[in-house]
Each structure stands twice: as structure tokens, then as C-alpha cells.
Amino acid sequence: MSKRRKSQRAAEATPKREKVRDVFVPRPFEGLTDEPEWIALRELVPAASAPLRLVPELVEEHGDRPVTLATVLPMAAPAVTKPDGRVLIGLQRHQQSGDVSRDLAEALLCALRTEPGKSVTVPPLPGVGPRLQDILVDGPLEISMHDGFEFWLDPGAADDPTVQASLERANAAIYPTVRLAAARAAYWCQVPEKAHVRWVLPDAEDAALDALARLSAAGTLPLAGNTKFAGMFRAHGRLVPVWDLPEDVPAAEWEEPVTEFAKRYAEALDESQPLDAAGRRARHGLLGRQLTLR
């Protein structure tokens, strides 16, 4: 076969592999019990961690190595292995393929194959293979919120002035964030001159949007009289409404308003009748107020 013919055949084959490997998955965390929390930790929360459990097959192959999900790791690394065998997986990192779940699973598998304490090498694109849903024992995430990134470090590491300086720079970028008990995947955060509540809704986008439209038409979309519904954004197949709040009111004061709103939202979600004219106008207005997360 001529070199030209070989080149043509290779070019014809490559797009097929790319199509399979890079197919876009709109809900990468679908099927996980805490799907909204996975989304919140990836998109909303600066510093948090949660232990993960490997399926028995991986424990048998690699040993019972503790695995921790981290919102972000130093230099946005995909994974880190500690000298004592612990593995940390970074959730907030550049997406490599069209499937976040596959990317994270590949990073975890690469870390398990890496000698403890050594740098983890993750391929530029993972290719076809297992996803988080295949390699983790599913269950609610036991989330720990952190004021800073000290949880990255081994004991005594912060004694190094270079490490301490790097840690201080990372911590300075953190906006205060509090996980609310009023609803799963609801978080209060404080940014310059205002505060927000952001809630990753657990429901299908269309149903959630209809429920919000009903509340908007009824005038019950704000959390309280001194709040403003700022808009919403889409994240990994779920809607995330955002409210502007007074910056001087602490997070704990918003537990009751969020609880009451969650009740109103649940009632609106259960409404089976199609939207009326006011609801349809409100729905159109909500679509025009979609936010870009920054």
C-alpha cells in the first residue's frame, strides 16, 4: 500500500475515534446519589473535600487507599498521591473531553497506578473507559468545608516559606462560602459589596424552569423582602438559581428563608397544570435572565 493511501486511511479513521472519545455528556454526574452536590463542588465551592469509596474490585487490585475528592488541587492538578498512599482528586480542573465523569475517573485510575508520593501523569484525552459511576461506591457525599487550602498539605509542609507564600496566595482568592442546611446543594457566599445564595436544583431543567416561572408569576421568587432574584445559570444539566442578598446579613440568617422557598418551590413543582399566560411570560423572562458564572 502506498504511503499516500495509508495516510488517507489513517485520516478517515481518526475522526471516528475522536467522535467516540469526545462525545459531549450534558449530565456527567447523572446516576450519582448526590448529583447536585457534585455540580456545586465543581462550580460553586472554592475549598471543600469529601471522602470517596472505591468499588471492591479496585480495592482488591490497588489496596484500600484512602481517596479524597477536593474542589481544587495545587496548580489545578488532576490528582495527587501522598507518600502515605492517600489519593486526592481535583474536581475543578480543565475539562479534557466531553465527559467530565470520564476525565475524573481516568485521573483517579492513573493516581491509583502511581507509586505513593510520585507525580501523577494523566493522558491529554482519556479515551473510552470507566466513569465515576463505574469505579465508586455511590452514596451521599460527606462534605467538609474549608476556610483555606491547608488540607492540601502534609504535616510540617507549611513550614517551608515558599509553600506558605503559595498557600497564602491561594487562600486570598477564596470568597467566604457556607453550605446551607436548608437544602441540599444550596450555598451562601460573600463577594465584594453583596452576598448570594446559589442552589443547584435536583430536578429536570424544564420542570424546574416551570416551577420557577410559577413562583415568578406569583411574586414569590425572592427569598425575602430584602433580596432579589438575580437570575439562573445551567450547569451540567441542572438549573442553578441565584439570589442577591445584603452583604451584612450572616449566612445563618438565610436558613429559614431558603427553607420556606424550598417549600414553595416543591409545591410549584408538583403543579400538574400547564403554565397559564402569566406563567409563560414569566418563563420567557427567566430565560432572558440567564447568568454567566464567573
Q: How confident is the model at residue 279 (pLDDT cuts 50, 70, 90)?
A: very high
E strand segments, the chain = 48-52, 67-70, 79-81, 87-90, 144-145, 177-179, 186-191, 194-199, 228-235, 238-245
Are 247 and 162 contained in the same domain? no
- Tell me what pLDDT residue 145 has: 97
In sequence order, what are the beta bridge partners of 67?
Answer: 52, 87
Q: How confident is the model at residue 153 (pLDDT cuts 50, 70, 90)?
A: confident
| 176-196 pLDDT per residue, tens | 999 999 999 999 999 888 999
Q: Domain range for residue 255?
A: 177-287
| Residue 195, CA distances (Å) to 73, 140, 157, 170 in order | 26, 27, 34, 21
With H, G, I as helix, E, B as strand and everything else as coil, classify residue 180. coil
Q: How confident is the model at residue 293 (pLDDT cuts 50, 70, 90)?
A: low
Q: Examine residue 5 and state whether it is found in any structural domain, yes or no.
A: no
Q: Report the share of the chain in percent with pLDDT over 70.
A: 91
Question: Among 88-102, 154-168, 182-196, which is the least confidently predicted range?
Answer: 154-168
Q: Which of 172, 199, 229 is the last residue of a domain?
A: 172
Query: Is the pTM of the predicted complex or chain greater than 0.85?
Result: yes
Tell me if 106 sits within 8 A of 122, measured CB to CB.
yes
Judge whether residue 108 has pLDDT over 80: yes
With H, G, I as helix, E, B as strand and everything else as coil, classify residue 67. strand
The span from the first CA to the last CA of the chain, in angstroms, equals 53
d(CA 78, CA 129): 17
Are 251 and 283 contained in the same domain? yes
d(CA 79, CA 120): 6
Are 152 and 262 contained in the same domain? no
Q: How confident is the model at residue 163 (pLDDT cuts 50, 70, 90)?
A: confident
Judge whether residue 7 has pLDDT over 80: no
Q: What is the mean pLDDT of the chain?
A: 90
Q: Across residues 184-210, what is the average pLDDT?
A: 96
Q: Which of 172, 194, 219 is the last residue of a domain?
A: 172
Q: Which of 172, 205, 232 is the last residue of a domain?
A: 172
Q: Examine residue 4 and state whether it is found in any structural domain, yes or no.
A: no
Q: Examine residue 103 and state whether it is found in any structural domain, yes or no.
A: yes
- Tell me what pLDDT residue 168 has: 86
